[in-house]
Structure formats: C-alpha cells, structure tokens
Amino acid sequence: MKIKENQAYKYLKSTRGSWGDISPVTRIKESRKVYNRKKHNSNKYMREYREGKFDF
C-alpha cells in the first residue's frame, strides 16, 4: 500500500520559488480531477474578472 501511494507522487524541481542554485523539490500528485477543478476555477475567475465583478 505504501509503495503504491508513493508511486502516485512525482518529485519535481520547483521553478516557482527557486532562487540561484537552490530549488526546492515539490511533491506533485498527478490527479486529473484536481487539475481539471483548478483549471475550471481559474477559468471561472477569469471570466468574472473580465465581466468586471472584481475591482482591484
């Protein structure tokens, strides 16, 4: 069970939040559902932003 759980994670070097030679390793769980949800949410917010619901 532990091995399968670890295989679900991929260790990647983080480009965001890295400076110089130091780059933290981020643990990214590959989950299509989460990705789609985040993408959907960001699209929703961008649409609302274009319609002028947010004033920054």
pLDDT tens, position by position, 19-43: 555 555 555 555 666 666 777 777 7
Residue 51 is predicted with a pLDDT of 77
Residue-range definition of the domain harbouring residue 7: 2-51
Instruction: With respect to residue 56, please indicate whether it lies within any of the assigned structural domains.
Output: no
Instruction: Tell me 20's DSSP state.
Output: T
Instruction: With respect to residue 18, please indicate whether it lies within any of the assigned structural domains.
Output: yes
Instruction: With respect to residue 45, please indicate whether it lies within any of the assigned structural domains.
Output: yes
Instruction: With respect to residue 28, please indicate whether it lies within any of the assigned structural domains.
Output: yes
Instruction: With respect to residue 42, please indicate whether it lies within any of the assigned structural domains.
Output: yes
- Give this prediction's pTM: 0.25
Instruction: With respect to residue 40, please indicate whether it lies within any of the assigned structural domains.
Output: yes
In this structure, are residues 23 and 15 in contact, taking their beta carbons and an 8 Å threshold?
yes
Question: Average pLDDT in the 2-13 region?
Answer: 52
Distance CA 9, CA 7 (A): 5
Res 56 pLDDT > 60: no
Q: Which residues pair with 19 in a beta bridge?
A: 22
Total domain count, the chain: 1
Q: Is the dihedral of CA 11, 13, 14, 15 positive or negative?
A: negative
Instruction: With respect to residue 33, please indicate whether it lies within any of the assigned structural domains.
Output: yes
